Amino acid sequence: MPVIRIPTPLRPHAGGLDSVETTGASVREVLDKLGEKFPEIRDRVLDGGELRRFVNIYVNNEDIRYLDDLDTPVADRDEVSIIPAVAGG
């Protein structure tokens, strides 16, 4: 199954988990599945059906914006990482 890596700021909305195994053949399907379990995360990542502009998603460290965005295919054992911008310093 694909694994979604949850960033630290979103872990409180995922029962404290740092990763969640899920199902789905595309990034969109994987996020929908995640959203069924943890709806608050979905709202923080997606605005309607689109990715929020301050969140980036990577499949195996590749930015989905130069793949097929939310339609990027996801295979078994792929790693889907949600990476929000880090503002502090």
Partner 1 sequence: MAENVNGAAATDPIERYSRQVRFPQLGEEGQRKLMASRVTICGCGALGTVLANHLVRAGVGFVRIVDRDFIETHNLQRQVLFDESDVSDNLPKAEAAARKLRNINSVVTIEPVVTDIDHTNIIELTRDVDLILDGTDNFETRYLINDAAVKQNKPWIFGGVIGSEGQTMTIRPGITPCVRCVVESAPPPGMTATCETAGVLGPAVAVIASFEAVEAIKLLTGAYDALNKEMITIDIWDWTFRRLKIASLLGKVDCPCCKHRKFEWLEGDLGSRTTTLCGRNSVQVAHRRSQPLDFADLAAQLATAGEVRHNAFMLRFSADGHEFTVFPDGRAIIKGTNDVAKARVLYSRYLGN
Q: What residue ranges bind partner 1 (CB under 8 A)?
A: 7-9, 18, 44, 52-54, 56, 58, 61-63, 65-66, 81, 83-89
CB of 36 to partner 1, least distance (A): 21
Pick between residue 21 and residue 62 the one whose CB is nearest to partner 1.
62
Pick between residue 7 and residue 35 the one whose CB is nearest to partner 1.
7
Contact 40, 13 (CB under 8 A): yes
| H or E element at residue 6 | none
CB of 17 to partner 1, least distance (A): 12
- Distance of alpha carbon 54 from alpha carbon 73, whole angstroms: 22
Contact 10, 82 (CB under 8 A): yes
